[in-house]
Structure 1
Amino acid sequence: MNALAATSRNFKQAAKLLALDSKLEKSLLIPFREIKVECTIPKDDGTLASYVGFRVQHDNARGPMKGGIRYHHEVDPDEVNALAQLMTWKTAVANIPYGGAKGGIGCSPGELSISELERLTRVFTQKIHDLIGIHTDVPAPDMGTNSQTMAWILDEYSKFHGYSPAVVTGKPVDLGGSLGRDAATGRGVLFATEALLAEHGKGIAGQRFVIQGFGNVGSWAAQLITEAGGKVIAISDVTGAVKNVNGLDIAQLVKHSAQNRGIKGFNGGDAIDPNSLLTEECDVLVPAALGGVINKDNANDIKAKYIIEAANHPTDPEADEASHTWTILSKKGVLILPDILANSGGVTVSYFEWVQNIQGFMWDEEKVNAELRTYMTRAFGDVKQMCRSHNCDLRMGAFTLGVNRVARATVLRGWEA
């Protein structure tokens, strides 16, 4: 099932539990605006190249739309639509005053020079600058983009609208970015995991973790989990996978990965087949890479007691209920903390950055991290309350919470059936 079908399916199940009016349900599902633009730039060799850029603005009932911009060769309208919709529910679960959006350009950033990436970013911004804004739509980094990309968007946008640091988040600190933003999603994963384990009388210390993905989210999650006393016994990235039953030295692995552009060849553990990582014996499995990696083909072999969805849409719900991945895992007693809660730390600290920019008053990192813990812990409690109210699992608890908040805001603003 592709990401859009899966996300829409979750929404419809939540709408049914909430007994939403059918017209309101349809209205909430349809995006507010879909943008598709051509971005033509001169390459360094003098030739011209054209790329297609997208921005889907899903919903603004609760505030400005919010979501990342990714540069990836597989960016397409369905993926962007799914992620924009997920952002609407995610910001509502986190209870921050945003709606949802997502964007991207179909390109291979690794094949473009820095100057080509800058030209592409500036052309894309020129095409959408009148449709984004501090109180309209606030982009952020995503796959294939970073703080430098946001700096280019800020600069190009400011040429049309005056200096506007709050128009993007995830910026360099020197341009108004927030301290603690780089680690925010991984730190949010830690706080959400702590909240889940505490429900079962456990803590991070002593738990065995397996993490798929060692990018920004996975590497920070690994470092912070280790600092909290957890034992990370296996990790994978695109170059390979490594395992040490006694616990990996994450600080050394971070250095090795930076020096070698991947974890392959790390001598602090045994190399294993990356395809077997998800089925390693552990207490907590953290998929922090791609979507759809946990499916009906491997669900029966998963040995973790808890799955923390640090990636977007890592658990694939099959179209056939009889072979539903979540059903397989549920029967095994596996608890899944869904992505719209587990990885909401990034957008939450993006909200803090936006607030700091608007106020013109910057926070120290201790305040950022303390506020993030408060928001993540409170969101988990709100999700659990919905689980009790609707007799549902954590995923539906999160979706009913998010959808209900957006529906209420929509009706309060004057929606008519």
Structure 2
Amino acid sequence: MAAASTNASAGEILELVRSGRARTRREVQEITGLSRSTLSLRMSQLIAAGYVRESGQAAAATGRPARILSFDEARQLVLSVDIGATHANLALLDAGSQVIMQAHAEIDIAAPPEVTLRALSKRLTELLGRSGRSVASVVGIGVGIPAPVRFSTQRPNHPPLMRAWHDFPIAETLREHLGVPVFVDNDANLMAMGEARERYPDAPSLIFVKVGTGIGAGIILRGQPERGIAGGAGDIGHIRITEAGVGHLCTCGAVGCLATEASGGAIARMLREEGHDVRSASDVNRLVNDGDVRAVELTQRAGRLIGDVLATSVALLNPSVVVIGGIMADPGDVLVESVRDRIYERTIPLATRELFVAASSLGADAAIQGARHMVIDQTFSAKAVDDRLQLAS
């Protein structure tokens, strides 16, 4: 919001408070140029709606100490859903990141989306019931899916892993079931958002790479996800790394994609071909944790291949942080160290001198926290707040 905007709305004032740019009424007045009477009216609206509270006192050089303004995080509840191929993580959180209750649901991503979403709606209702909350206390639901999402429509866009979900109205369907706003994004985008906002708030740019059954990435620039024009930004798992026609068939229909050589699913396939009883990325994770020599070797190879692809991304974007997440980032530093070494080997010092490469610190909660941030950003944008206040008046 521009400084000295004498027409600043209540929603714009809330953005100042949420961002920390304004901590007192005087600071709001200095930034916006609003008269005291207009500011008092706007603040009364925000306080009555439960968006802002005043507490404590800020030291002042002269005059009476001013009361501190803050976004009333505890009153704003969010439901987060992280959908995977075989299960979904569900959580009820407040706007300040406090997890109130969590649950897990078994799903089959190959089932019709209507069936899956109906089951998830039921589990979310049960979660609210166990927590003693009602759906009326929820400001929104954030959903992450392992697929490209066209954010303007909130719908999956030609997802290789979820073919029946293409252009399916996920947000509209869940809203019909539960009666609250729903927002949908790619899971890697949400993981990137969670890590960036919760662990690296001062980083101007961040790349998050999820390595599990498949591979995907989320890109954060100046605090916001870069989704691309069709939701395909960060879809590095489908970059072809072998010669034409060489390699394994990918879920996207191409041959030789990064995901077919470096994902947890790919490593599990290679181990099975060598006679090991391995069915999933979770099994690979277990073997690496147990020190299985072959599993470690293949994981290191996967890290080098991922690092080769990320070296190009690092050279192109010059990010400050690269985070490796997903189940394959769990076993020690085997994968992360291989990725880090390859990036430094393949990229000039100018791009890596200030680069920090690390494993995810939020782990399985990265998408849950990212979904919360998405909901809060959307439901408490200046326009959304002003629209709700106008309807309530």
Q: What's the TM-score bracket when you normalise by the shorter of the two chains? A: 0.3 to 0.5
Tell me which structure has the larger Cα radius of gyration.
2
Query: TM-score by structure 1 length?
Result: 0.36
